[in-house]
Chain A
Amino acid sequence: MNLTIPSIHYLAILPVMVLLGASLVLLGSVALVRSRVSNLVATTITSLAGVAALVITFVQWAYVANHGATTTIAHAVVLDGFSVVATGVIAVALVMATLVAHDWARREDVRAAEYQVLALAASAGAVLMTQANDLVVIFLGLEILSIGLYVLAAFDRRRSSSAEAALKYFLLGSFASAVFVYGAALVYGATGSTNLSDVSYFLGANVLLRPGLLYAGGALLLVGFAFKVAAVPFHLWSPDVYQGSPTPVTGYMASIVKVGAFAALLRVLVSALGTQMDTWRPILWALIVLTTLVGASLGIVQRNVKRMLAYSSINHAGFMLLGVWAATTRGTAATLFYAMTYAPLVVATFAIVTLVGGRGDDHHDVDYYRGLARRQPWLGGALALFLLAQLGAPLTTGFYAKFVVLASAVDVGGSALAVIALLGAAIAAFFYLRWIVALYAEGDERAIAHHVAVPRATAVVIVLGVAVTVVFGVWPGPLAALAQHATLLFTP
């Protein structure tokens, strides 16, 4: 028997190597250096790795633009415009989340080096998911991402809710992973390969007489993904995990899990199982209806802003699913655009929530925000802007993001679905607006008036978030064109 070592195109896997390499270097120095690795060193290494990954994506983009999309390592990993842009988004989210975590770690007196080791490893997993062209690689990426996040969720050892969140996340997350990988096994049995291109080719060339195995496998894969992106009815873990995890972790989780999971979901449903569209579309339709409506409705009754943002993120997941449902180039570009704008937005939102949370990270009742924008107009104004963007107000990125996913769904006859999703957005608007009203309300006796200190690194993140939200909100052309180009270079 001959074993051939597959050729490796190193440029394709360079971002993963840099992120994982930085994680290992940091881990090694934590273990080997006698004195404590300072938070500043850890943050610097992590930010540099994130920036390096971002720079590499520019090189990759130039390569893909000139040579077209390629696959490598026995077609298991793909380098195409879509993966390059998604990688860039993850790198940006990593750098922003790292800066937030830096100030948080100093405030809470937490050892940040181990935190950054895990954050780097998780981002490498997310990048791997965006590049995966094989169900097993998606599974590996998913696990690298998730296992890092399980530990990060438990990172605040002083609050018992942090460990509780970690256990819930861990149990339901690994349950979802097991379901996902069983789906992969059934698809493998039905089509003879776990490679997405091979699956797509097989299904295009053959008609399955007994498609039960494939349908079961596809359904299990979909359930696994639905857990990860917290689509209703697989969302039950998400509010508890969002609330219990340290706030910077929540922001990081909300951004990179969405990017990684949606990139992989698009590859699985649109490119590998594209021929079975008529079968999975109705299921996705029901998921979107439930996710947008239930996510928004349950958010209204929340007092805790982290839970509120958890339901808001469920609502956003419903919108991102719209582009997947459309299953066209336009839909793929729309979902990518949504992820590109949502990731920095949510990290920046949670950056402000981290600051208001105060030492101990437990001031998360909406009452703590009463009059914040009156006392600190810049900070409160920035938060109001982020909430308006999540609501989908015009002149923010949220508006155009919602517009493109809805347009892509209407294009393929999903008008009813678009109307239902808009209804969900209207319900969600209620709790965003209630929060904004609280920001500008007069302080009353319940108000816990305290000055929220804004450390430098977090200020950078907030300014970055405002810049992205406003600049690309007023002028979404370049970003939309980038998403469009990226999708044209999407490997089928």
Chain B
Amino acid sequence: MNVPAAWYLVLGAVLFGIGAFGVLTRRSALIMFMCIELMLNAVTLTFVTFARTLNDIGGQATVFFIMVVAAAEVTVGLGIVVAIFRRRASTSVDELSEMKG
């Protein structure tokens, strides 16, 4: 069965949408974090699909860059979450309201 490229693009867009929706609505830092990863993976899927349709290796190479960046973000992000968790024993962003105005 031949799956049209458009399906992959739509899947990418839907995944990206779910991720973006999650970041904007969920209140746990860890879940928001996972949603950002989901968004990045939707982007890689889109890049690979376009690389196939355009018959261009550049889009596939880009995926590696995005993966490396995502890994670096995970390291730093988890470090920050752990630093906060040590202090408060909670990862909910609602409790982080020291600054307002």
Chain A residues with a Cβ under 8 A of chain B: 136, 139-140, 143, 147, 150-151, 154, 157, 160-161, 163-168, 170-171, 174-175, 177-179, 181-182, 184-186, 188-189, 192-194, 239-240, 243-244, 301-302, 304, 307
Contacts and interface: CB of A to CB of B under 8 A. Distances in A.
A413 B5 CA distance: 43
Contact of A154 (B50, B69, B83): B83
Interface in B21-42: 23, 29, 32-33, 36, 39-40, 42
Contact of A161 (B73, B79, B99): B99
Contacts of A179: 20, 39
B101 A154 contact: no
B101 A239 contact: yes
Contacts of B39: 175, 178-179, 182
Given A171-B29, A178-B19, A164 B50 contact: no
Contacts of A186: 46
Given A185-B50, A188-B47, A174 B73 contact: yes
Q: Which of A189, A194, A239 has the most CB of B within 10 A?
A: A189
Interface string B39-64: 11011001101100110101100100
Contacts of A240: 99
Interface residues of B, number: 43
Nearest to B47: A185
Q: Which 8 A-B pairs have the closest CB atoms?
A: A178-B39, A189-B50, A185-B46, A164-B96, A240-B99, A143-B69, A182-B43, A161-B98
B87 A160 contact: yes
B48 to A, nearest CB: 10
Contacts of A193: 56, 58
Contacts, number: 121
A139 B65 contact: yes
A372 B54 CA distance: 64
Given A171-B23, A171-B93, 20 more contacts: A139-B69, A151-B80, A160-B98, A164-B96, A167-B80, A171-B77, A178-B19, A178-B40, A178-B43, A181-B43, A182-B42, A182-B46, A189-B9, A189-B49, A189-B53, A192-B56, A193-B58, A239-B101, A243-B99, A302-B101
Given A154-B83, A240-B99, A304-B101, A174 B56 contact: no
Nearest to B74: A174
Nearest to B33: A171
B11 interface: no
Nearest to A165: B99
Nearest to B23: A175
A20 B4 CA distance: 44
Contacts of B9: 189
A154 B99 contact: no
B52 to A, nearest CB: 11
Contacts of A192: 54, 56
A301 B101 CA distance: 8
